[in-house]
Structure 1
Amino acid sequence: MSYCDWDTTDELCLRYHDEEWGVPVHDDRTQFEYLSLEVMQCGLNWTMMLHKREVMRTCFAGFDFDAVAGFGPDDVDRILATPGMICSRRKVEAIINNAQCFQRVREEFGSFDAYLWGFSDGKTILYNKHADGWIPVSNGLSARVAADLRRRGFKYLGPTTVYSHFETLCVSN
Structure 2
Amino acid sequence: MSTELTLRCAWVTRDPEYIEYHDAQWGRPVRDGRELFAKLCLDGLQAGLSWITILKRTPGYYRAFAGFDPVVIAAFGEADVERLMQDTGIIRNRLKVQSIIKNARAYLAMQEEGVDFAGFLWDFVGGRPIVNRRQGDGDIPATSKESDAMSRALKKRGFTFVGSTICYAFMQAVGMVNDHLVSCPCHAECQQAWGIGVTHRGEGAV
TM-score above 0.5: yes
Does the alignment pair 1:116 with 2:121?
Answer: yes
Q: Which runs of 5+ in 1 are unaligned?
A: none
Q: Distance in 1 between matches of 2:124 and 2:70?
A: 22
**1:46 aligns to 2:46 (yes or no):** no
SS in 1 for 2:125: coil
Task: Return the offset for 1:171.
Answer: 1.6
* CA distance in 2 between partners of 1:137 and 1:148 (Å): 18
Q: Percent identity?
A: 34
2:136 to 127, 132, 139: 132
Hey, which bits of structure 1, 4+ residues long, moved more than 6 A? none
**Rg bigger for which structure?**
2
Which string of whole-angstrom CA distances, capped at 9 and with x for unpartnered residues, describes residues 124-171 of structure 1? 11223x233311000111001100111111111010000000000122
The 1-side partners of 2:52 and 2:118 are apart by 25
1:63-97 Cα deviation digits (max 9, x unpaired): 11111111111111111111232110001101100
1: distance between equivalents of 2:131 and 2:15? 26
Asked if the contact 1:80–1:87 (Cα under 8 Å) also holds between the matched residues in 2, the reply is yes
Match of 2:173 in 1: 168
Contact 1:126 1:170 in 2 (8 A): no
Give the TM-score normalised by the residue count of structure 2.
0.79
Q: 1:114 to 1:108 in 2, by over 3 A?
A: farther
Check whether the contact 2:12–2:22 (CA below 8 A) recurs between aligned residues.
no
Q: Tell me whether 1:104 sits opposite 2:109 in the alignment.
A: yes
What is the letter of the counterpart of residue 122 of structure 1?
A: G
Question: Which residue identity lines up with residue 136 of structure 2 in the other structure?
Answer: D
Aligned residues: 172
Q: Which residue of 2 aligns with 1:58?
A: 63
Question: Take 1:155 and 1:62, find their aligned partners in 2: how far apart are those partners?
Answer: 19
Higher helix share: 1
Q: Give the structure with the higher percent strand.
A: 2
TM-score (norm 1): 0.93
Give the Cα separation in 2 of the matches to 1:123 and 1:107: 25
CA distance in 1, matches of 2:8, 2:106: 34
